[in-house]
Amino acid sequence: MNIRWIIVVSLLIEGSVLLAAEEGLLVRSEEETFLLVQTPHTFSHPWGMAVLPDGRLLITEREGNLWLVDREEKVRITGTPAVRATGQGGLLDVEVDPAFPEEPYIYLTFSAPGAGDTSGTALARARLSGTSLEDVRILWEMERKTSSGRHFGSRLAWAPDGTLFVSTGERGERDRAQDPSDTAGKILRFNRDGSIPSDNPFVGRTGFHPAIYSLGHRNVQGLAVHPETGILWAHEHGPFGGDEVNIVLPGRNYGWPVITYGKEYGTRAPIGEGTHKPGMEQPVIYWSPSIAPSGMLFYTGDAFPRWKGDLFIGALAGTHLRRLVLKGDDLVHEEVLLKDTVGRVRDVAQDPAGRILLLTDHPNGRLYVLEPPAR
């Protein structure tokens, strides 16, 4: 592919030089140069995406649609579970079984309808057969459903041992995050069939839900397992400021709403008991003002070798892609990419060729591909 320039004038945005090219936008960042390519598809408030082994994508829309997507076309998949698509709820994340296609299952999180106008986060498994879902089974759903349209959490990530992490929000009721009997405001861990792993940290403890892996979360919308350590990392939305990235260890308490770096909306008053408390974890990093993080990826591909091992996070309010450079568990550098270029970045993924995929959350949301330019 030879680049033929349309514009020979560069634009400097947040440290990145952008040039318009026939095949896309050529971006020169601190460490890598890449083409930003917009695919032809649009989506209505897309939320999650998963990459199949052949490179095709599964993409969810909050209103309840699931799409099978390649660079040229998208096809709607039938048989998705019923959702209550109000507020922040709807059809949310999607993941593919690690043994796919031998185990042709996909996993979905969504806001499951309850009595009246209530809903709660749920996890389903289904067999993907062509363009339909079969044998749809609800593996877990939040016991206490409410009419709130807020804070469903709902990211998925596979642990190295084949168990599945599921994040939940506290549904806008802060104290639920500290209630050990309640699955709201937690990260949960399940076996692939929905059963509870026997080594979950609270199994057998009176008053604790056995699915809980960690507690004290406000609204986790990013999960990723470190490719070298196998340890789970997560990010979550703060209130007014106080977005966090955390290293998630079993049985740990991440503080919300007892400790936080965020403030109350409106009054900007402090929340809880401050920013530190014994027995509660500190974040690797927090952002104030908020960037509204969503989606999370440890980059492991070969297309961008200087980025290998870096952590990529989408920003909704920040309207950018953020690159975090780590040394062990410590943050040593941040880079803001594509500021105000693609809009609200809802999810981030990597395809089999090592390209980075971005999904933007708008009424006409887009799928973008970051790929290396022709040499």
Indicate which residue of 41, 151, 209, 217 is catalytic: 151
CA 125/CA 244 separation, integer angstroms: 29
Longest dimension (CA), the chain: 67
CA 54/CA 101 separation, integer angstroms: 10
Query: At residue 108, what are phi and psi to the nearest 5 degrees?
Result: -130, 140
First to last CA, the chain: 8
User: Strand, helix or coil at 306?
Assistant: helix
Six token digits for residue 359 = 């999904």
Tell me whether residue 362 is one of the annotated catalytic residues. no
Nearest C-alpha neighbor of 243 from the set 227, 222, 226? 222
Alpha helices in the chain (DSSP H): none
Helix (H), strand (E) at residue 69: strand 66-69
Nearest C-alpha neighbor of 186 from the set 158, 160, 153? 153
The residues assigned a catalytic role are 151
